[in-house]
Amino acid sequence: MEAVTTDFGIQEALNQLGIKGINEGTSTGSNNFSNGDLIESYSPVDGKLIGSVKSTTIEDYEQMMSVASSAFKTWRTMPAPQRGEIVRQFGEKLREKKEALGKLVSYEMGKSYQEGLGEVQEMIDICDFAVGLSRQLHGLTMHSERPGHRMYEQYHPLGVVGIISAFNFPVAVWAWNTALAWICGDVCVWKPSEKAPLCGIACQNIAADVFAANNLPEGISCLINGDYRVGEMMTTDKRIPLISATGSIGMGKIVAQAVAKRLGKSLLELGGNNAIIVTPDADIKMTVIGAVFGAVGTAGQRCTSTRRLIIHDSIYDTVKNAVIKAYGQLRIGNPLDENNHVGPLIDTDAVKMYEAALTKVVEEGGNIIVEGGVLSGEGYESGCYVKPAIAEAQPHYEIVQHETFAPVLYLLKYSGDVENAIDVQNGVVQGLSSAIMTNNLSEAEHFLSVAGSDCGIANVNIGTSGAEIGGAFGGEKETGGGRESGSDAWKIYMRRQTNTINYTTDLPLAQGIKFDL
């Protein structure tokens, strides 16, 4: 568990990304301005101040929204394939800045450098997806019941799309939304997490260069910064027809109510309490790899992190011992050092939540089999490094029903058929990601059937963590029901319109109604 404190070229990366000591937190592209208080970003890696961002005031917000609303009138008239070309150029810029941006993601958020690079790669991938999609925003032609009429559906852009993102994926989730919204003809206003504001500044700088190089107006890509009060400016604003929000279930319920009150649209990506079912026919080696990465990757701070391992009683001890052995090989330390597996939690508040979870599971009768704890000493000065822990528990425990956003894995035992395991898995309010480890075709198909997993994502012989951009990403129940990224997720960013054309000199009415004059 020896930590490494080398700089790893952070300052060079900040310079490449245009990050200054103090940064304007409100931007319409190349035009940056802010009059609010400073948000200071400290790295959980070493506790050092990276830089500061000026927050957005209501006056700043109104100025930004005026520019965004004006830009939409121009952007929506550009043919979608031409908008796709702009997104293609943005993807190319991301390729050029991949190492620098991945390093900033790792340093400001705390995930491993490889995961930081992977997150930027997701941004590049969604740009590629969006470029192709820009020529495939298909409508639908239907046969009219009236002679001499043609009826069809088409999609139009919504307008200004508001994006509220979380700290754990400080750049990718924005890109999932923005790349699709842009090719749909929308302009975007983004409020990044106040825990990772510099990642937002970096992305905005990259996008601004692309729009300026193409002589496009300010306001197609907008940035605001601040706490929940800045988020409220967006959620209550009737000029923003869609709010896409990623975060906790509690936050999502507040956003949903505020947006629904004005009859706006919400795209919600909220909490996950994800489980892997391990049946007697599972490959143990694959199970251990999937479970361990799912539980400790990003220090357990992914919405798709594995929280529960539901193991058949006939192989429970075998799987438990194999996972415990794997945890003994984990290296915890500076995430920029690629020899380490686990970096820090985002801040000391997250550490307190982690400690509270371990206390709670013991109080409820659980048994901790891999001890947790906060690391201290050289390389751990930030106070944000913790040991991934494992606890044996029961499905009904309150703490097990709750999403613990930290590297705590709960082992649960089931007996009998796979239906019993599925009941345990589905017995929580969250419904994001799920997995089953089995080489039994019947069990796998049952897990994917209508009587199987109730989650938005259901995997066989891979873990719960991570997703490809080609598929729609999101979950059910209190996870919010939203879908981002691939498949037909683009439709949420557009409004559907049904059109009927009468190319005759008569005016027949639908359903054979007669109305003669």
State the Cα–Cα distance between residues 171 and 220, nearest whole angstrom.
Answer: 17
Short-list 393, 396, 445, 397, CA closest to 419: 445
What does the alpha-carbon distance between residue 301 and residue 291 come to, in Å, rounded to a whole number? 14
Catalytically active residues are 269, 303
Q: Which two tokens stand for residue 235?
A: 């959620």
For residue 180 the two structure tokens come to 């699709």
Q: How far apart are CA 310 and CA 316, in angstroms?
A: 9
141, containing H or E segment: strand 140-142
Question: Whole-angstrom Cα distance, residue 162 to residue 229?
Answer: 14
Cα distance between residue 141 and residue 152, in whole Å: 4
In angstroms, rounded to a whole number, what is the distance separating the alpha carbons of residues 288 and 303? 20
d(CA 329, CA 352): 25
- At position 92, the amino acid (one-letter code) is E
3-state secondary structure of 343: coil
User: 3-class DSSP state for residue 76?
Assistant: coil
User: Is residue 27 within 8 Å of 208, Cβ to Cβ?
Assistant: yes
Mapping DSSP to helix (H, G, I), strand (E, B) and coil, where does residue 372 land? Answer: coil
CA-based R_g, the chain, Å: 25
Structure tokens, 249:
């279930």
Q: What is the SS3 string spanning 424-492?
A: HHHCCCEECEEEEECCCHHHHHHHHCCCCCCCCEEEECCCCCCCCCCCEECCEECCCCCCEECCCHHHH
Is residue 166 within 8 A of residue 200, CB to CB? The reply is no
